[in-house]
């Protein structure tokens, strides 16, 4: 997926027109690079589950035409939420910033997939990863 697509999705969930905030567009590649670094362990966990080779490092985003080789759930959901979190932090809207940060983290966890390994629960509860 192209970085520009992630940018457009982030703008859509923030109800911002693309290109309207030149600072957001200017800083988008750097913020995307940072979010991709955070998302790398989740992408690699997903790849491990699917029997795919892991990525050695997170890609850097230099411009909007760069390709992001992560799964759709990370690109279409997690990254736009992460971007919204940074946007609202800059707008000094702590509530929305934290809300989107939480959504970002949950989307990353969903992307990692459950590995299906048996987990011993010493408290007697049911593990969501039990086969």
pLDDT digits 0-9 by tens, 41-86: 999 999 988 888 999 999 999 999 999 999 999 999 999 999 999 8
With bands split at pLDDT 50, 70 and 90, how would you rate the model's confidence at 131? very low
Instruction: Select the more confidently predicted residue: 126 or 14.
Output: 14
Q: Please, how many CA atoms are within 13 Å of residue 88, restricted to the half-sphere of its CB?
A: 20
Cα separation of 30 and 95, whole Å?
23
State the pTM of this model: 0.79
pLDDT at 51: 87
Whether the per-residue pLDDT at 107 is higher than 80: the answer is yes
Residue-wise burial string across 6-16, b where 16 or more C-beta atoms lie within 10 A, e elsewhere? bbebbbeebee
What is the average per-residue pLDDT within 9-15?
A: 88
For a pLDDT cut of 90, what percent of the chain falls above it?
Answer: 50
What is the average per-residue pLDDT within 28-38?
A: 94
pLDDT at 117: 52
Cα separation of 99 and 49, whole Å?
29
């Amino acid at each position: 997926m192209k970085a520009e697509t992630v940018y457009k999705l982030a703008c859509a969930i923030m109800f911002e027109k693309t290109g309207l905030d030149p600072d957001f567009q200017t800083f988008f590649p750097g913020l995307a690079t940072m979010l991709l670094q955070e998302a790398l362990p989740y992408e690699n966990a997903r790849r491990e589950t699917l029997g795919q080779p892991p990525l050695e490092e997170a890609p850097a985003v230099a411009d909007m035409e760069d390709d992001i080789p992560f799964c759709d759930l990370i690109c279409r959901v997690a990254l736009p939420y992460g971007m919204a979190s940074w946007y609202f932090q800059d707008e000094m809207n702590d509530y929305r910033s934290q809300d989107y940060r939480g959504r970002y983290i949950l989307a990353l966890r969903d992307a990692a997939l459950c590995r299906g390994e048996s987990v011993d629960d010493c408290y007697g509860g049911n593990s969501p990863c039990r086969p």
